[in-house]
């Protein structure tokens, strides 16, 4: 079962900026090979940290404006928001433990 939310321009403020828990945002696209490698790790972390973090996925093809506002030029890009601000950011495919390290000290 999927534990992530689909983040769009319409729900970004509510789901991310106003979140009471840290938010891991995965900027991805269905045609992106490295995104397909990272996706299962992101899903596992969403389940393992359910209730302690929120995981959102942003399809850059469908949400080009949102990706543009974040300066996304390469995918996958992972952002961690805490208290409405970007706390961590990384570009590229990473192992699960490196993704977890982006937010672990924030929960």
Residue tagged active-site, from 24, 35, 66, 67: 35
Q: Would residue 35 show up in a list of annotated catalytic residues for this protein?
A: yes
Q: Would residue 32 show up in a list of annotated catalytic residues for this protein?
A: yes
Q: Is the peptide bond before 76 cis (omega within 30 degrees of 0)?
A: yes
Residue tagged active-site, from 23, 32, 60, 75: 32
- Measured CA to CA, the distance from residue 19 to residue 81 in angstroms comes to 9
- Measured CA to CA, the distance from residue 58 to residue 79 in angstroms comes to 11
Task: Return the active site residues.
Answer: 32, 35
């Amino acid at each position: 079962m999927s534990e992530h939310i689909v983040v769009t321009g319409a729900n970004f403020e509510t789901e991310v900026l106003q979140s009471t828990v840290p938010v891991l945002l995965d900027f991805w696209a269905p045609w992106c090979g490295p995104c397909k490698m990272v996706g299962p790790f992101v899903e596992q972390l969403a389940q393992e940290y359910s209730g302690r973090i929120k995981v959102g996925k942003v399809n850059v093809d469908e949400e080009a404006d949102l990706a543009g506002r974040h300066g996304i030029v390469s995918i996958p890009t992972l952002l961690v928001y805490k208290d409405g601000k970007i706390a961590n950011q990384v570009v590229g495919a990473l192992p699960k433990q490196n993704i977890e390290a982006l937010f672990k000290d924030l929960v």
